Amino acid sequence: MGAGAPLLGANLVPGLGPVRAEFLVQGTTDVLAIENIAITAGKAEKVQIKWRGRVGRAPLGGTLPISEVQTFGTLQAVKSSDFAALFGITVPDIGPVKSSWQEVDRNGIIGVENVKFTAGDGKTFQLVSTGRVESVIRYDEAFIDGFNIQLAVRGTNTDNLFKLLGIQFPNLGAIDGRVTLSGGIDKLTAEGLHLTVKSSQGLDIVAK
């Protein structure tokens, strides 16, 4: 049926910046296939999101859900504070943010696999999240459930962690921690918590 025209310079995502979208639409009056999806939003010097892939079946009308979804996304932000601002959250800058993920189709349920999220400079502080979300869209409606996310934090001091939590507290020393989050939004469970804090003055804190 033709190719989607690029959206040049259009500020379609509030707070993110210009969006460019290219794709190829094929099919019939009953069902479409959206191929060669290439969407870039934002600016590389601030926050930028890229989305690539295809949607094999997008029914027009009826009750059949979108299916054959094979898409991949990446995000990068020079400052973590700029990334948080997209969600209306104010946090101090702890360094750059990078993320990648893959959307998958499970018979009408769209989930997210191979999630990787990192924030921090990787030297003095880093927050890492990996895992999957079983469902983000169910039968064309938002339905978030089935978290299985591993969180890890490491830093040469606790200053950046306390800043993120909005806590004013003296530095306790080097930090190394991890926890697994599972379940749904209404019932999220934390398991496997392990946290150690060690200072050069000999203070050792261990939480399990």
**81 residue type, one letter:** S
Spatial distance between the Cα atoms of 166 and 84, rounded to a whole number of angstroms: 14
Q: How do residues 91-115 score in pLDDT, each as one tens digit?
A: 889 999 999 999 988 877 888 999 9
Q: State pTM to two decimals.
A: 0.82
Share of the chain above pLDDT 90, in %: 49
Each residue's pLDDT tens digit, 70-99 = 999 999 999 999 998 888 888 889 999 999
3-state secondary structure (DSSP) of residue 64? coil
Q: CA-to-CA distance for 91 and 81, rounded, in angstroms? A: 5
